[in-house]
Structure 1
Amino acid sequence: MTASALTRPGERERLSTKLTQIDWRIVGLLTFLAGVGTLMLYSLGKLSWEPWAAKHLIRYAVLLLAMLGLALVHPKWWFRSAYPLYGVLLVMVALVDFTPLGYTAGGAKNWLNLGVIRIQPAEFMKLGLVLALARWYHSHSAQEARWSWKLLIPAGMIGVPFVLVAAQPDLGSAMIIGLTGAAVMVLAGLSWRAIGAAAAAAVAIIPPFVMFVMHDYQRNRVLNFLNPEMDPSGTGYNIIQSKIALGSGGLMGKGFGLGSQSQLEFLPERHTDFIFSTVSEEFGFLGSFTVLAAYAALILIALRIAALSHSHFGRIASSGMTAFVALFVLINGAMVMGLAPVVGVPMPMLSYGGSGMMTVMIGFGLVMSVRVHRYAELPKGHGLF
């Protein structure tokens, strides 16, 4: 459909017209990845729908409908909710850190216990951060985005949740928050001089941060990433077993349900953080390549959608959400291959877990909203709403 057809009075408000503008390639790729995740969870459950596969599939079906619903929401509502949503999520993260409502699970106090439900605010903080940064950059000039004292504002918007989440301690989520925020600043046009200075500062800060700020178990993960054989039955065990699973799959894999490392439970967290190792073991290089190619296609399509948006908010928000998902894939892939420390970052759509899948589907709901309403213009105001 042409731009003129989409911009005729009342045309964009028709549900049937909006549905034709949804990029069904994204729906297909997400369905493929969720299907692979379900297949792997079925295999890991000893060829049973319990305890993981059925729940994973049901979650995807429900969240798919939610994503399609969000795709029909006009970007002005995402725009108006950006700052309030960021503020609410920041308060929730702080409640985890500083009140008895914080709940500890898996060695980190990163859950908010509301009685009837427990939620992980850090997961949703990633989405709120992208929206808030997109709103800020939409209302400022290209020169201010390139280099200005005003950049202290988005830097603070990134730094505060990063510090709060890192203190829980949830290094994986903190890393995603920091890198996603940095990616948005770069995509918005940050000066290369500033990027170089920030990279140099990071290189200088990382060694003392690892040695004096990190918790002991986090520091051990970093040291064992550098030398897994230092403690092969302890902190180096995860990386070693993951590498064995990856390598033993060969070209074609051992076959569905026949992976020794995963089926015999040598591979830790095989249904969450290390599920990609299971894919490699059972379906080999070809299976792993196919999954990574699906992620690459998903990211490229989403970036193309961002480029076609007429509003700066739409471009920054959708490219930021895409960067957020890409970071999940890159960090998890590097982690299971032994190219990065184990930091508890799941593989999107493959790993079992409701919060991770929900954030990805909400993110693509926003991307699809930008696609459906790509000709929409938004105001440049600096107000809260």
Structure 2
Amino acid sequence: MRKMLAAVVSHVFSGATQKPAMRGLLASLNFSNDATCDIKKCDLYRLEEGPPTSTVLTREEALKYYRTMQVIRRMELKSDQMYKQKFIRGFCHLCDGQEACCVGLEAGINPTDHVITSYRAHGLCYTRGLSVKSILAELTGRRGGCAKGKGGSMHMYGKHFYGGNGIVGAQGQVAEAYNISALWKLPCVFICENNRYGMGTAVERAAASTDYHKRGNFIPGLRVNGMDILSVREATKFAADHCRSGKGPILMELQTYRYHGHSMSDPGVSYRSREEVHNMRSKSDPIMLLRERMINNNLSNVEELKEIDADVRKEVEEAAQFAITDPEPTLDELAHHLYYRNSPFEVRGTNKWIKYMSVS
């Protein structure tokens, strides 16, 4: 039946007039529906067993993951460009290189689960359902931004997403959170995105022990290959199931890498060599690894992935154009959204004779 359908479609749409979409349809008839993929074993702490070392990747999942990671990569590169053009001001922390973390995390949880994060969160904003337009518009401080242009890079929010906070938990605060979550057996998955540098300090120079997955002490931990989306997905599923079964919190360390510096004021090459960054890009890039896995397992081909790339570039360019042309919030909106579902009330400005109205 499959061969017959391919023959009929090929006959109808053959010739020079064949459109790219039709060529894609013909090619898809010959792709595999899924593939079984081996993944790196996680390092375990206070756990008798961990995530599986192989998993099934469907063609539908692969295409979705690939496109999502490409959107995040292009969005971050465009943000870098817009910052240098002074359309984006203030703090801006980019996550290109860490795409497997945010996409893999989302693939391993439910849309109704709650996610709290610190900065370097543009990718998580997108995987949680915010559009590229709303993210870039927030970066440029426009009304169409996800926080109405008032939050910027470090203060973005969405449904079930309380993220982009400007503070990273200090060690004492983290220890207190570990303690109370273990004491009350709270269903929390703590995640350390270990991109190997704290600002400009290598982890080996800052920590006597770099086994961050053991830092929970009395909390079980996993150390995961954060450059492989399937490793992150399966580890996240394992961690989420651990919490949902009533076993309390768990800690995941995702070993990843950021290509840009800590922030836009950091060129990222004074404390690490260009060769190091190049080696990570050429050997461990998360998008490259997924692309190779898809092609080698006949889940896609180069031509189809190039079409996705072109579509992503167009989407990001259109979003960027919106982000620089959408109007900024007006002055009288300065005090809006101070509270959720509150009746309007007056707010005094910096000048005691100027009053603003806060509207939910």
Higher strand share: 2
Length-normalised TM-score, structure 2: 0.26
Higher RCO (CA-CA < 8 Å; seq separation 6+): 1
Rg larger in 1 or in 2? 2
Length-normalised TM-score, structure 1: 0.25
